[in-house]
């Protein structure tokens, strides 16, 4: 084992792999990431991506990207493309070509025929209500279907007619013949194939019967020589069906399934059904709305691939279900951007400052560091003029000693510039301050006054004549409660302030900021330039500190 691998956090899956390699159970490691293309990937999928691709990388193995595309009515090629984009953006490369379970439809059909020939599958014409009533409950065993003892020859003929399209949707299905008295519901003669006259994004109209996920998944793993099939705990009982299918067909490789806890994250939902409801119900602007927990939404909000990978490392891999604090995800991106994001100034709620003793037409170009702790990031030019904008909250007519900003007859330093003192101000008809009139000390650029005076505080600013107008979107958590999924109606706890839009001003150099690039607005938070807006728009990625914990 390499030193780099040995230094990585271990978990029970890596311990299993270490043991398998030491005992010679496997010579190489082959994993796969098998999403269903029926929606966008979310942060929970990122955990699985990092696990499967990370293990393949660390053990010099390979990881397949395979779409388990067995439900064409809910799938779409746009989802396929979005998923491939997300995996690549996270920094992972899959082995060879993208794979699809639909690539194996003919083989899957052949294995279904084999089960029929062995007397282990039958065609059932019971309607859904009847099948449900015969299935039993968690405390009551199921009852055999009246079609369960149909002969092998007749079942083969009936299944052939299913494939030929001779039956309507819902008229019949192919079921495994296992055990209707099993304590595991998934083993009570589960459905293997159903009739669907649906166009498939890969196979077109070649098929009118489609295999069920549980039948398809294990066989696809075996076909691809997967050594460790990793999935979340809700599939733990289904492992019995996974093993049963592989044990009863003629196939060389029999992978083993291992389950780990899925990611549950505070202040959001990760159920694909609920996410679809948020999109279709117009509670968000789309799958990549920056409030969504999708990888596309996080990316648009300004999260970096590195921060998401680091978050997945921090939360680890266990068998214990828990609710991960949102602050852990936010901490990962703060740590990233604190080091890597350049600094700039932006004013979100502007009021004007007029420096009355500064020449009216003068434009002074000041140099400001792009990062206070990293000189290699260089400096930027910031125009300084007689008229500036500052934040409305940074001025008060009078205040106590705790207020460290601009107050009448008190001095503050303008960030990277001069001392100024407020002398008087104008208000509008509603009593809102509109303009503050100040004087500046020209001998305080980059230094304190010779007489030892100290500024009350430091505030940020932009030139009123040279700054650029920008829309600034203050995104926050989508829900008001830590566990919205536990609510009777999760839509009733949506956060009405999850998006607040400001019309502010930013340094002129930010007009050329790369789309998606992160930047710290000094004293305000981390932002990125929006990837879809036509005008200059910045999305708040995260605040400078966690205000929800206060």
Contact 41, 86 (CB under 8 A): yes
DSSP string, 214-274: HHHHHHHHHHTT-SEEEEEGGGTTTHHHHHHHHHTS--S---EEEEEPPPEETTS---HHH
Dihedral sign computed on CA atoms, order 43, 45, 50, 53: negative
Q: Which of 14, 32, 36, 410 is catalytic?
A: 36
Measured from the Cβ of residue 81, the count of other Cβ atoms closer than 10 Å reads 11
Contact 356, 384 (CB under 8 A): no
Is 148 one of the catalytic residues?
no
Residue 228: CB partners within 8 Å, gap ≥ 6?
Answer: 13, 16, 17, 20, 29, 30, 31, 55, 255, 256, 258
Identify the burial level of 186 via C-beta atoms within 10 angstroms of its C-beta, where 0-12 means exposed, 13-18 middle and 19 or more buried. Answer: middle
CA distance 240 to 214: 10
H or E element, residue 114: helix 105-117
Q: What is the DSSP letter of 10?
A: P
Residue 414: CB partners within 8 Å, gap ≥ 6?
Answer: 388, 420, 458, 459, 460, 461
Is 487 one of the catalytic residues?
no
Q: Among residues 269, 295, 274, which one has the least CA distance to residue 42? A: 295
Helix (H, G, I), strand (E, B) or coil at 153: helix
Is 272 one of the catalytic residues?
yes
Q: Which of 163, 272, 396, 415 is catalytic?
A: 272
What's the Cα-to-Cα distance from 357 to each of 240, 281, 365, 440, 442, rounded to whole Å? 82, 56, 18, 7, 9
Contact 385, 463 (CB under 8 A): yes
End-to-end CA, the chain: 45
391 pairs with which residues across the strands? 350
Q: Which of 135, 163, 196, 262 is catalytic?
A: 262
Contact 505, 439 (CB under 8 A): no
Measured from the Cβ of residue 402, the count of other Cβ atoms closer than 10 Å reads 5
Residue 435: CB partners within 8 Å, gap ≥ 6?
Answer: 351, 352, 353, 354, 425, 426
Catalytic residues: 36, 262, 272
């Amino acid at each position: 084992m390499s030193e780099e691998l040995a230094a990585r956090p271990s978990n029970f899956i890596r311990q299993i792999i270490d043991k398998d390699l030491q005992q010679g159970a496997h010579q190489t490691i082959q994993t796969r990431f098998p999403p269903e293309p029926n929606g966008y990937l979310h942060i929970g999928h990122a955990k699985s991506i990092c696990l499967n691709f990370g293990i393949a990388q660390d053990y010099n193995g390979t990881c397949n990207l395979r779409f388990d595309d067995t439900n064409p009515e809910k799938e779409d090629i746009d989802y396929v493309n979005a998923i491939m984009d997300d995996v690549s953006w996270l920094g992972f490369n899959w082995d060879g070509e993208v794979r699809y379970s639909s690539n194996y439809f003919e083989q899957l059909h052949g294995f279904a025929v084999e089960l029929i020939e062995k007397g282990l599958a039958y065609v059932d014409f019971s309607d859904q209500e009847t099948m449900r009533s015969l299935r039993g409950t968690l405390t009551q065993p199921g009852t055999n279907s009246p079609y369960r003892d149909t002969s092998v020859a007749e079942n083969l003929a009936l299944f052939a007619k299913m494939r030929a399209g001779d039956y309507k949707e819902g008229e019949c299905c192919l079921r495994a013949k296992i055990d209707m008295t099993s304590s595991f519901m998934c083993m009570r003669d589960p459905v293997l194939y159903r009739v669907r006259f649906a166009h498939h994004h890969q196979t077109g109209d070649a098929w009118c019967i489609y295999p069920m996920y549980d039948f398809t998944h294990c066989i696809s793993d075996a076909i691809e020589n997967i050594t460790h099939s990793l999935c979340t705990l809700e599939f733990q009982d289904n492992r019995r069906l996974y093993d049963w299918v592989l044990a009863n067909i003629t196939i060389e490789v029999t992978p083993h399934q291992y389950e780990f806890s899925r990611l549950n994250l505070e202040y959001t939902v990760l159920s694909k059904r609920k996410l679809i409801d948020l999109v279709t119900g117009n509670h968000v602007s789309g799958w990549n709305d920056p409030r969504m927990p999708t990888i596309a939404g996080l990316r648009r909000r300004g999260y970096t691939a590195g921060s998401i990978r680091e978050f997945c490392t921090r939360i680890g891999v266990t068998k214990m279900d828990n609710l991960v604090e949102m602050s852990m995800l936010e901490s990962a991106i703060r740590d990233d951007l604190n080091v890597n994001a350049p600094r700039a100034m932006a004013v979100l709620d502007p009021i004007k400052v007029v420096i009355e003793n500064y020449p009216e037409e003068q434009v002074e170009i000041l140099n400001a560091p792009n990062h206070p702790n990293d000189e290699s990031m260089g400096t930027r030019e910031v125009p300084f003029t007689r008229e500036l904008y500052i934040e409305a909250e940074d001025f008060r007519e009078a205040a106590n000693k705790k207020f460290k900003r601009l107050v009448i007859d008190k001095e503050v330093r303008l960030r990277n510039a001069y001392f100024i003192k407020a002398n008087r101000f104008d208000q509008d008809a509603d009593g809102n301050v509109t303009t503050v009139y100040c004087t500046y000390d020209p001998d305080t650029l980059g230094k304190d006054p010779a007489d030892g005076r100290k500024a009350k505080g430091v505030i940020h600013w932009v030139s009123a004549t040279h700054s650029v107008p920008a829309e600034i979107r203050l995104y926050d958590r989508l829900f008001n409660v830590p566990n919205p999924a536990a609510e009777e109606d999760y839509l009733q706890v949506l956060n009405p302030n999850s998006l607040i839009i400001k019309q502010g001003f930013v340094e002129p150099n930010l007009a050329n900021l790369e789309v998606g690039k992160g930047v710290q607005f000094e004293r305000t938070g981390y932002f990125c330039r929006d990837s879809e807006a036509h005008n200059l728009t910045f999305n708040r990625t995260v605040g400078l500190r966690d205000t929800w914990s206060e």
